[in-house]
Amino acid sequence: MDGRGEERIRSFVAVDLDAAVLDNLRRLQAELTRVPADVRWVRPGGMHVTLKFLGAVAPSLLAQVHAALRETLREVAAMTLAVRGLGAFPAMRRPRVVWAGLVGDGLAELAARVEAALAPLGFAAEGRAFTPHVTLGRVNGTRGWPALAEVIERHREDDFGTTVVNAVAVYRSLLHREGAQYAVLWTVPLASSIVNDSRLG
C-alpha cells in the first residue's frame, strides 16, 4: 500500500441496520448485561455488520477504496435481510464474541465483491469464510458465562426484525479506553431495486 508519511485512519467497510432492529437488539443487550459476566458490550451506536476490516489506511488510499467500491457496487441490488438468532463465536463452550445472526441471500456475495474490489489495492483476503453477524459483545473471561449462556439459549431462535441493506459505509474507528467509537466517512449506495424478500425463510 502507498501513502507512507500520511496520517493513517483505522477503518472498516460495513452495512448499517434499520432503527427498529437496533431497538430490538438494544433491548436484548440490556437483558444480557444484567448477567454479571466478563463481556465488553458493544455500544448501541456501534452495532453494524462488518464486511471487511481495512486497518490503518492512508487518506490517499481511502480515496482509492471509495472509487473501487463505487465501481463494484453500482450494479449490486439492495437487499432485505432478517436479523435472527443469538449465539457465540467460536463456540458456546469457549466464547469470544456474542452475536446476532442474519438470514437472507446477497450479503455474502456483497462481502465477496468488496473483497475482490479491494484486493488490487493491497488489502489481503480474509483467512476465513464470511459469516454474517452483528457483534453484541466481546467475551473477556469465563466469569458468569454459564448464566449468560442460559440467557443466550433462551433467545437462540428469536427474530429481531428485518433490515434493508441499500448502501455500504466506510467507517473510521477510534479506539478509547472505554471502547471503540465509530464515525461514517462516506457511503456508497446500492442499486435501488430490492431483491430476495421472498428468500428470508
The residue among 115, 95, 96 whose CA lies nearest residue 107 is 115
- CA 105 to mean position of chain CA atoms: 16
**Residue 176 known to be catalytic:** no
The residue among 76, 85, 65 whose CA lies nearest residue 13 is 65
Which residues is 137 bridged to in the sheet?
A: 41, 98
Q: Quote the cell numbers at residue 41.
A: 458490550
* DSSP three-state, residue 166: coil
Q: Give rounded-to-5 percent helix, strand, coil for the chain.
A: 30, 40, 30
How many degrees, rounded to 5, is the angle at CA 70 between CA 169 and CA 54? Answer: 50
- 196 dihedral zone (left: phi>0; alpha: psi -120 to 50; beta): left
**Residue 133 known to be catalytic:** yes
CB atoms within 10 A of CB 189: 13
In this structure, are residues 41 and 134 in contact, taking their beta carbons and an 8 Å threshold? no
For the annotated catalytic residues, the residue numbers are: 48, 133
